Chain A
Amino acid sequence: MAAVADILENIDSLPALPTSVMRITAMLSDGTSDLGEIENVARNDEALSMAIMRYGNSALYGRSGKVFNLRESIVRLGGKALLKIVLEQKVAKLFDGAGEAYGLQRGDLWRGAVGGAIAAEEIAKKHRFQEPDLCFLCAMLRDVGKLAMESHFGAEYMTQVFSHLEPGLTFMECEQSAFGTEHAEVGAELALRWGLPERIADAIRYHHEPPAEDPGHDRLFDIVHAADIICLWAGLAIGSDGLQYKLAPHVRKDLGLDRKEAEAEITTTWGRLRELEEMMGTSPAREARA
């Protein structure tokens, strides 16, 4: 059995959370966005600049016949859209190549991260939750613990363990039983070590099992949890864990989530993700791992 501290001992071998994401996280947490600072981040990052210009010139933001440069694209898109673009780009790098231990194909973790972010934002807006951008961020980072688990235990060993999961248990119970901890807990601790605010760490910690009552209940956690289930139904980032998760009954009730609304969220999430992938030129086809 491994303690979370042991797993995070080799934190230096994990990809660091980029400074840009740290700054953006702070902006989202305190509700500010600084166009000048985002421009500074983008100017030093060619891939990010290209992405911002692709967005700025895409049909999603209206056609004008004019080609917008980086500065014009930044102004045109506005702070919140830019924050999301930076996150999508940077988290893609963070998750790049990871997920084999969880039976995921290359790129699946990123698709799951972005799909969850989109779903969380949609649910937050629909329910007039005041912090849709924070929901977006937390849902995007919710599975970051899988990186640390994979790095510590190794894909080969974890694959072997996961091939003997008990079907009736939740995946969290299976991980807990096999490793003494699970990816949500590890992800939360990793977030704290990265210096992220405690509430974001808790959104990661509770993304599978959000507290139903005070102390501990937070609608942010409920929304991130619901977004995670929507992603499963949308076929995003399903690995060896399959569908061995439960939707918390209080989340279903509080969000008034019924089948019809769930199906609508599934199609919306999937559609927005597909638009994003088409715009960014990223193929949904995954390369099978050997």
Chain B
Amino acid sequence: MGSPAATYTGTEVGGKIVVGVADLAVTSDPSTTLVTYALGSCIGVTLYDPVAKVAGMLHFMLPNSKLNADKAKAMPAMFADTGVPMLFKAAYDLGAEKRRLIVCAVGGAEVLADDGHFKIGSRNRTFLRKIFWKNNILLSGDDTGGSISRTLSLVTADGTVVVRHKGKEHVLWPQ
């Protein structure tokens, strides 16, 4: 990984690796689960290489690091344009290959009656799609939008992506 700092590697809690806000984690441990809680307007990105058994998760908050270069330097996972490349590079460092990656995105919700003034969640979605489009990455699972919060899990043994909302779960990948 670019930085060995604990803040960018998730935190082990109860047998799971918890990815906080503006945080990312990548692992080749097949016996754990990556999880991030309460995605609102933030977006959680998961990736999984089924051959190398490498799994990664990013929880970014805002689209563009130009907003605050100092923050982006200190906390690159805060922004999509710095966090996404960091996530992919960390996965490649553990042996993942781009052509095999299964990538999902979850979150990007909006407050009610935003009326186009802020669009924090939708800008996150748009910016992320642009990054993926420029880099020829297709989303295998997409559960974004609305006004709800979501908890996102990635089982590292087989790449299953689960989204939890108000106590109900659904599998986003495999579909």
Contact = CB atoms under 8 A, between A and B. Distances in A.
Interface in A218-268: 229, 232-247, 252, 258-260, 262-264, 266-267
Contact of A233 (B10, B16, B18, B41): B41
B21 A244 contact: no
A233 B14 CA distance: 27
Interface size class of A (residues with CB under 8 A): 35 or more
A243 B11 contact: no
A235 B39 contact: yes
A122 to B, nearest CB: 14
A contacts with B: majority SS: loop
A243 B149 CA distance: 7
A274 B13 CA distance: 19
B40 A243 contact: yes
Given A165-B166, A242-B109, A264-B68, A286 B18 contact: yes
Nearest to B150: A242
Interface residues of B, number: 44
B22 interface: yes
B35 interface: yes
B12 to A, nearest CB: 8
B61 A270 contact: yes
B120 A263 contact: yes
A239 to B, nearest CB: 7
22 contacts: A103-B166, A167-B146, A170-B112, A232-B40, A232-B111, A233-B111, A235-B39, A239-B38, A239-B149, A240-B149, A243-B148, A246-B111, A247-B113, A247-B114, A259-B118, A263-B120, A264-B67, A266-B62, A267-B61, A267-B71, A274-B75, A284-B11
